[in-house]
Structure 1
């Protein structure tokens, strides 16, 4: 049952991203390839995502993408559950590691490629991650993610773009 729910959530999240090929579902993460761009990415829905979730403006997800033509690998992106208040800090926490992200509206990214690499390395060993900020009304919010399957999904996405 958990697999069906996770796969359904991943399909719903990935549909707007126009994924052409599923590379697999691994734990709570999925991997996809869009050969037209080309790009590949690992993606997961925030925990508790679904109909009836209070106070969400968006369906939050985390993704790690690769764009071979742009020579971009392991770029982290978060779609937050709410729009961020102007000037509010956006913090990613995994275990004892903290990262101050860049972002606007309902999106957040690492500040540079080196931070992307550190985040991806930490995602490979941590079990959960949380992204926190303040919304436009000043309320604190946190989007939480399981990292079960994240490393395998990231590897599948990398191999998927390396193969073609």
Structure 2
């Protein structure tokens, strides 16, 4: 399959293919965006390469996806931008349902800190070597991960104390 890419984006894809041939699992386009699925164990190394060699200096976002599949259930997606070249690239890693874990990229982009914490909080995907991996939106003692597909739409009754929604009439 031939992809039509801008020159800077093509150079980045070619560089990844040459330097990390066995660690690039898939390259595809969807809705005019380019996605590169990489080996989970290589995310930090590939991130450093993209930042240092291809100027992807801006990590715009990190988000999780629950694919709800029997294998490689979860994905972590990194939204990278080369401000110099004005191009965007999405890196993806996949992990299993049981004890999902990915290396943190905070050593490459410090902006990953809170985004990785949010992915951990909502999906339960742990980020090894994260400087402060703790819940960011939910209470520390909350036993559930609200963005997993099996989480009930109305929540779990009694799992968290909710504020009173009835206005005081005094």
Greater Rg over alpha carbons, structure: 2
Which structure dedicates a bigger proportion of its chain to strand?
A: 1
Higher relative contact order (CA 8 A, sep 6+): 1
TM score, norm. by length of structure 1: 0.31
